[in-house]
A and B are shown apart, each in its own frame.
Chain A
């Protein structure tokens, strides 16, 4: 039986460079193999470590499941560590991917346009230069809401009060702002005991 086909990963921002080369290699060191970093691994690394999103949020953006995103991310880190330690060249290419960008609509001239560059927020229509533009894609709006649902929350074990989680501070060290009780991470099996 052949394995299940790989789900295509959505790439919102293609990398600016196609690779990295080491410099200052010492004489006599053998030239290390090239590390091929897939574009999906670059994107996972960008979302998790550059945009500082959690794996759940990043998985929604890349249109894969959360465990898959974690595997892609782990592979990316392993490959980059390998390249750094061995001093090998990194080439960013390949992977099961598709590119995507969001649609906008202009109310003044009635056109639809997309924004593949994504350097800054879209403010004016590229055709008629009017500023009455709005995101068109309903799915993108829904996705934004869904990413909101993936945010982490701490929940109080005493009064069930929910507060948004601060990255870097373990939930159990937080005190409930309402009753001063102990907080736990919402949604974990542990939190359901209380």
Chain B
């Protein structure tokens, strides 16, 4: 019996050590993923859905920029008018939908990755393939990606798509905020082509101010809310619309970052290394006490 207890304690101690080792690494990983320092100059796009005319040029430009066969450029405006509510997919990284087809000129909403400030996909990725870049883009490394699709489940906007049709080497696909283009000083392909300038590219900080200025200047034109300013801790893509987009386009989301729940447990467990040390101390104490008792028993 006493032997058993000693074994048990040894195992427990071993687990404790492992946990302690993990703790030393974990906070750094977590910090780098979603709670990292956000650059003040990180960029975003302000989508003014009231300006959008639904020509679909952004969809065409996106495909062209990402080497997806775009088809006829003339066909794009018709895709909007069939009233279907499309979702971004592996061969259309962005789509524009008219929400209420019965109302002419009602809001047309462009969907793509929102490039969250605290991305759930980054937090969920078990191999650290996804990264929040300094310029605001959430990008991923296909060479590192193992195709587990955790990011698809984690995303509060259900954006990442997967090349299910490919038997060999299927990949995750989503808007990459035209990371290569923006690094060259170009605009994202969609913002570059938009004929009416419904997509304004700039620093997120300025865009929030601009969005609020527009609402203030035209209170009867806009619903008084900048979607993305606070949702899931803030997104790089911000939306202005005539009517609320919550529950018609986007799910009702809180203002806490999506990885908040999982990370708060994870971070809470290892915060400042106190809980592990405390646990270790407790275990040490238990060991010490039991050892004393054992010694006493032996005498």
A binds B: no
> Taking beta carbons and an 8 Å cutoff, which residues of A are in contact with B?
none
> Taking beta carbons and an 8 Å cutoff, which residues of B are in contact with A?
none
